[in-house]
Amino acid sequence: MSLAKPILLVGAGALGSSILKGFRVQGHVTPSDVMILDLKPGEEAQAYAADGAKLNPLPEIWHSAKTIILAVKPQGWHAVAQILNGNIDKAAVIVSVMAGVTTTQLKQAFAGHPTARVMPTTGVATGKGVASLYADTVAGMDAARGLFAPMAQTVELADEDQINSATAVSGSGPAYVYAFVRALEKAGRANGLSYSHARDLARGTLISAARLLDETGEDPEALIKKVASPGGTTEAALNILCKPGEGLDELILASVDAAHKRSRELG
């Protein structure tokens, strides 16, 4: 796995900052390997600059970048491509984490550059995220792996269209889980718990359940059976939560379908 450095990160917002944190946690990219372009650099970008990264360097410095990560909103990326073009090395690999923007569009904007698409989760900040990778060249896939494999469980997609599905399930997925925790907290308060007890119980339950899923490797179905005693409290809840035809399965399917559709539109 080879990763050509230095790296130019364009956009250090929610995801760009998570990537920077992941580099720091795993150590596969050091601040001195990094240049950052961001209009209003946040805490993480500034911490990187204090540790030796080049923050908003002049365009003549961009030529040294061997790998360029595009982490701006899909709506703003054309302006970024215009600014970069003419100022970057022809061999630099373009790694886009943007939802919806296709390889064909990237190749039109960055003619001659190897490209890759990655759909990470913000969990890369902990060094244990998830990332789906797609590239149509060896150089592109090498760069994507080199950046993300140290800080994410990676899935390599053979079909670019599946990036839209990966975005809908995994890229957006952490927000679904947080929405569930928020709902559980609210329901705890509505059922008589104090704010802090509802918060601790809902969050702790998610974290301990996720640990069991991870550590046992068991299917959700088997783990559900271990919690739900026949005729007990869990069954009473699941009869509502997973009501056939109008329960969680249908709600999640409709939600993921909506995200998938939006991912296609963003290109």
Ligand X SMILES: O=C(O)[C@@H]1CCC=N1
Q: Which residues are annotated as a binding site for NADP(+)?
A: 71-74
> What does the block give as tokens for 13?
């917002």
By beta-carbon proximity to ligand X, the closer residue of 74 and 247 is 74
Question: To which H or E segment does residue 20 belong?
Answer: helix 14-26
Count interface residues toward ligand X (CB under 6 A).
Answer: 4
Strand 152-156: give its sheet, edge to edge: 54-55, 34-37, 7-10, 67-70, 93-96, 115-120, 129-134, 152-156
Determine if 18 is a binding residue for ligand X (CB under 6 A). Answer: no
Antiparallel, parallel or unpaired: β 67-70 and 7-10: parallel
Please state, in angstroms and rounded to a whole number, the distance separating the CA atoms of residues 166 and 151. 17
By beta-carbon proximity to ligand NDP, the closer residue of 16 and 150 is 16
Q: Which residue is nearest to ligand X (CB)?
A: 171
Contact of 161 with 144, CB cutoff 8 Å:
no
- Footprint of ligand X on residues 80-119 (CB under 6 A)? 99
Determine if 171 is a binding residue for ligand X (CB under 6 A). Answer: yes
By beta-carbon proximity to ligand NDP, the closer residue of 189 and 264 is 264
Q: Exposed (0-12), middle (13-18) or buried (19+): which is 215, by Cβ within 10 Å?
A: exposed
Determine if 13 is a binding residue for ligand NDP (CB under 6 A). Answer: yes
Q: Which one among 7, 9, 11, 106 touches ligand NDP, defined by CB under 6 A?
A: 11
By beta-carbon proximity to ligand X, the closer residue of 92 and 133 is 133
Q: How many CB atoms lie within 10 A of CB 134?
A: 25
Candidate ranges 29-37, 148-156, 157-165, 166-174; the one touching ligand X (CB under 6 A): 166-174
Q: Which residue is nearest to ligand NDP (CB)?
A: 13
Q: Which one among 96, 103, 132, 172 touches ligand X, defined by CB under 6 A?
A: 172
Please state, in angstroms and rounded to a whole number, the distance separating the CA atoms of residues 26 and 18. 12
Residues in touch with ligand X (CB under 6 A)? 99, 167, 171-172
